[in-house]
Amino acid sequence: MQPSYFQQARKPHLRPSPRVLLLVDFINPMQFPGAEKLVPAALQAAQATTRLKKRLAASGVTAIYANDNYGIWRSEFKDLLTACKALPGARGEMATLLEPGDNDLTILKPLHSAFHSTPLEHLLKQLKARELIVAGLAADMCVHLTAMDAYMRGYKVWVPRDCTAAENEEFKEAALRQMSQVLKCSVRKSSSIT
């Protein structure tokens, strides 16, 4: 007999994960001013992140998706995923490439940082996380602000430079430089993360 929902809810079901892959706003309809400039680089970042996620999952690293709710307060992550997968071109391809697996966790956020007004901090404590690998969109906004909030909370932060994108390379490089120099994030290619 299957245990009931409530019986399952009482049992701890999160395996500790000292290192967590945090995917920020990859499941994204890209419907904002300037999005057309971001889409090609975002697809490349999604492809690199898919490879990184697979490698990290093989070593037991938990992945958490933190996505904007786009002001739809009665939304669920699966509804956002379904809508994005149905989009034509690179937008739909990104959602399909990075579709969360059964063991991945998902949260919706109202604003830029994955920490702001979300259960992320509580979830990371449950996982006993100490290190965050922050990938996603856009480097100069949501990724940057998430990395800043992680730094202020004492996490070791890695930002794989090929797993993030911005509307132009200059914005991306400026954000990565600030994350490295000011926030003490490790900024390097995803191939160097094991």
Structural domain count of the chain? 1
The mean-pLDDT minimum among 67-76, 86-95, 129-138, 142-151 falls in: 67-76
Residue 170 lies in a domain: yes
Residue 169 lies in a domain: yes
Residue 12 lies in a domain: no
Q: Which domain holds residue 186?
A: 23-192
Confidence of residue 32 (pLDDT cuts 50, 70, 90): confident
Q: For residue 158, what pLDDT is reported?
A: 98
Residue 177 lies in a domain: yes
State yes or no: pLDDT of 130 exceeds 80: yes
Residue 144 lies in a domain: yes
Q: What CA–CA distance (Å, rounded) separates 46 from 42?
A: 6
Residue 113 lies in a domain: yes
Residue 54 lies in a domain: yes
Q: For residue 75, what pLDDT is reported?
A: 78
Q: The domain that contains 121 carries what CATH number? A: 3.40.50.850
Record the pTM: 0.92
Residue 184 lies in a domain: yes
pLDDT in tens, 70-97: 777 777 889 999 999 999 999 999 999 9
Confidence of residue 159 (pLDDT cuts 50, 70, 90): very high
